[in-house]
Structure 1
């Protein structure tokens, strides 16, 4: 899958796969029958050796982060089955309809985008944490990093003027069962107030005793703790009720205080299946678009990404072949030289 069919890493991987197949099966035109290409550059895919009927074209205006509903979703359909992929698309279509037709006071992508806008613009929060309480969604924060940050990590408006205010905050996260024993300590008692987004399926796909109830209860408890915290007076009263001496209370109480008043959002899903996942992903796509519109930016280009690709070209030759790195700055030239030195060591 390569929209341009020019991305260096993707083509290198495809070439390696073709070379391996050729070594195992022999060369010849039949080799192309083992490849399917999804691209907007049909001619380049055919030149690579993919048979014409095995090239699935996609529109050149579809960004990779929005492409899973296009032929790029073929890998999902192969892995999960066509029925599940169709349900995924049906869920996304339902969210599309909701976003298009629902008035703003009840429009979920718009409302969530307004929450994000408030947190970043009015409250000055430079981070956003996404915590799914489902292992099946463990890669969702990484997916959202590309969707949100590649779309809205911009500093100029659509007409090229400087924005002059924060745009997309940093986005990261992990599943709740792990993170509540790790960085939630920082969320509750650290010096940075960071909005947290909980995503919680209520019903388990494969119920086992009361495990799902425990999972949901823990998610609700974390949101409650972020909101209410634990004030000093309450901590002192708890310690006194346990019979702690006054000097012990004075010593220990400050360490147990949680300030509270820290924002969070709770998304409750009835269950997690292909249709609900489609709704969730489409919700985030539309939400990212509204966030961009609120900031006045173009959410559908990625010139920062393109800069990295352009600069990598001459550096590949410098690292691999020792070719002079040309117009690179002194720092980069020094790094290339050190890489070359390390590559010669056994």
Structure 2
């Protein structure tokens, strides 16, 4: 990949000048000038997903300049490099090949002179066979009973991805009860143990390195509880499984070799749901639906790889995001899925965006002078309309939003879905157009005496994207997830940062490890700041260990 400072490009400089011309232009005027704006600023993907980006503060010239920026930053070359398995994760010297996990082509993908697709297909077959064994009841627990519950033990991508997918696709769920354990807080593990019977529960330990502290601590506790209950080492293989790259550590933990589901160092944690880390998804939905999820992502991969930049959905959305974060200097971006099954989707995207692009050093090893990732937040359904939407409509902070809704509901009771869709449409329209903008602006400038009417003033001109799915299915969800993955990738390429490491996360882990060792042995070999030392002393005092 080329390491290009984006602010030094000709396009960036032209965008700066263009911003001065357009920054006060109202979305209402853009629609007035272009009667075909919806048609000109929307794209339909595979007759499954409609992306409407017409309610943005952009013109044709904005898009042309943003596309020039993408070309100057060699975005298309970077896309090809990822799909070819080049070592684009430079700081860890790895390829970035989550796209291989859902690859449906017969073509090879070569890493270190080996076709990785052979291993990918082998693991998929293993996932298929095992999930079928569990779902049909042929796999028995140590007392001869069929499995009723699955506990996925992971954190980060090994938790958020599978958890989000199983929640979003709950309409396709089978009889198995799926539980997700991530937090190291003992409350989480105790509450799950209240719900399950160890005789009919399997435990999936999902950790790429098989050394993630929260995950292994939780796994060790469950292992101890299982042995306390059964008092028999031979039963362990019927109930404990590893989803990891580090097979030797899994074996040392006591996992039977045949119970290890492997994924690879070229799979980032936040992209691991497509791999063996998604085993809980296959167990919850059945392997056929897991395959459809992969196929949906593959279809978006092919769009991303083959579509020209000007009609490439992830590219367009990435460029619009860069336009807001770096020219309007917005700091957040909100995601609002109008479907209760998708309530985890904003949280899932938080990791995808902020762990990927929350960086301040560019690929040249220099401090950036531009904005990288926005803060991602959001909530499902109409709930937010009765709380923080007030700020979106009348606050002083500009927040670009993505609104997501299915046309067909899995639960079409009475006229609820029509009301939900009405709210979806009303919010995007109100944010864009406000309420009688010209009249109210004139009233404010002339100190209009009707204060009650003045307080109702909503300027509008608040941007949003509308993403409409025909229905939330494994296929469409897979496509949507891949869309956002590729959007993040494009932003990282243009902003000249490495999107596939997370050294900031590692810092917190190392400091926590040092403090834990000091706490454990009741001695403090290291000098901390006064705040940290004060908090530690209070902890010890209230635990009567001073």
Aligned to 2:428: 223
Shift of 1:33: 3.5
Q: In the TM superposition, what are the counterparts of 1:228-307 in structure 2 within 5 Å? A: 228-231=433-436, 234=439, 250-307=450-507
Shift of 1:287: 0.8
Aligned to 2:212: 7
Q: Name the CA shift for 1:343/1:234 in 2 (closer, same or farther; >3 Å).
A: farther
Distance in 2 (alpha carbons) for counterparts of 1:329 and 1:114: 42
Distance in 1 (alpha carbons) for counterparts of 2:229 and 2:289: 34
Aligned to 1:244: none
- Give yes or no for the alignment of 1:318 onto 2:518: yes
What SS does the aligned partner of 1:269 have?
Answer: strand
RMSD: 2.0
Q: Name the CA shift for 1:79/1:328 in 2 (closer, same or farther; >3 Å).
A: farther
Distance in 2 (alpha carbons) for counterparts of 1:233 and 1:263: 18
Whether the 8 Å CA contact 2:437–2:460 is kept in 1: the answer is no
TM-score (norm. length: structure 1): 0.92
- Give yes or no for the alignment of 1:142 onto 2:325: no
Distance in 2 (alpha carbons) for counterparts of 1:42 and 1:314: 27
- Give yes or no for the alignment of 1:332 onto 2:532: yes
Distance in 2 (alpha carbons) for counterparts of 1:224 and 1:159: 42
Distance in 1 (alpha carbons) for counterparts of 2:356 and 2:441: 47
Structure 1 window deviating more from structure 2 (48-57 vs 225-234): it is 225-234
Distance in 2 (alpha carbons) for counterparts of 1:341 and 1:190: 44
Q: Name the CA shift for 1:52/1:327 in 2 (closer, same or farther; >3 Å).
A: farther
Which of 297, 308, 318 is residue 103 of structure 1 equivalent to? 308
Shift of 1:70: 0.8
Aligned residues: 336
Shift of 1:11: 0.6
Distance in 1 (alpha carbons) for counterparts of 2:232 and 2:544: 33
Shift of 1:273: 1.3
- Give yes or no for the alignment of 1:178 onto 2:383: yes
Q: Name the CA shift for 1:253/1:32 in 2 (closer, same or farther; >3 Å).
A: same
Distance in 2 (alpha carbons) for counterparts of 1:5 and 1:283: 29
Aligned to 1:112: 317
Whether the 8 Å CA contact 1:236–1:253 is kept in 2: the answer is no
- Give yes or no for the alignment of 1:31 onto 2:239: no
Shift of 1:29: 4.3
Distance in 2 (alpha carbons) for counterparts of 1:133 and 1:179: 10
Which of 52, 58, 65 is residue 270 of structure 2 equivalent to? 65
Aligned to 1:84: 289
Shift of 1:157: 1.0
Distance in 2 (alpha carbons) for counterparts of 1:338 and 1:318: 15
Structure 1 window deviating more from structure 2 (139-148 vs 76-85): it is 76-85
Aligned to 1:122: 327
What SS does the aligned partner of 2:214 have?
Answer: helix
Unaligned regions of 5+ residues in structure 1, if any? 238-247
Unaligned regions of 5+ residues in structure 2, if any? 1-205, 443-447
What SS does the aligned partner of 1:163 have?
Answer: coil
Distance in 1 (alpha carbons) for counterparts of 2:441 and 2:493: 48
What SS does the aligned partner of 1:176 have?
Answer: coil
Distance in 1 (alpha carbons) for counterparts of 2:226 and 2:450: 71
Tell me the alpha carbon deviations over residues 42-75 of structure 1, each in whole angstroms, 9 at most, x when there is no partner: 1000000001111112111311101100110001
Structure 1 window deviating more from structure 2 (193-202 vs 13-22): it is 193-202
